[in-house]
Amino acid sequence: HLPALLEDLGIYHRIALYGLVVMGLLIHFLFHRCNNEAKRYALLYISMATMIAFCFKYDFSNFTAPVSWPLHLCNTAMFIVPLVLIFKWDKLFYFTLFINVLGALLAMLMPNTDGANWLSDTSVDFWINHYMAFLLPILIISLRIFPRAKLKQFIYSLVAFFGYYVLVLVLNA
């Protein structure tokens, strides 16, 4: 049950998760009265900033071999969310909504970061990356930039995820 689960989480882990909730509520309430384009541009700004920050840890040599490409789902969310907001690609958005939000949530609940060093660059990268992969699609729905998804879109997302998973297994196993 939930209290026992929370007792298993360390203080830094809980602070990181609470920060996610506070940040999401703050962003939502800052922009919920703005017009739709202002909301979209604000989230685009946030997503572009996190994408650029994410890209600083890569150089051209990372892209010379497919095994070093950042194809982890939460890494691809850093690129998918700005594309979705720029081009208003709703089908791609529903993929990231279902797949990335669930994956990022599970990753944040069971992080693979070094618990003793929460301020290391890899730990901070992990949390920023997964915060945005989780939070931005939820904010896109809560701020009504895209309508809520239907069951049909969820099924299409699962089919697309299967294709993506097979592609990553071939390219980046």
Q: Which three-class secondary structure state does DSSP give residue 150?
A: coil
What pLDDT is attached to residue 24?
94
Counted residue by residue, the chain has a size of: 173
User: Distances from the Cα of 153 to the Cαs of 110, 163, 171, in angstroms?
Assistant: 27, 15, 26
- Per-residue pLDDT tens digits for 25-63: 999 999 999 999 999 999 999 999 999 988 887 787 877
By the 8 A CB rule, do 168 and 63 touch? Answer: no
Q: Is a pLDDT exceeding 80 seen at residue 4? A: no
Mean pLDDT of the chain: 85
| Number of other residues whose CB lies within 10 A of the CB of residue 146 | 18
CA distance linking residue 45 with residue 98, whole number of Å: 22
Q: Which two tokens stand for residue 10?
A: 């360390």
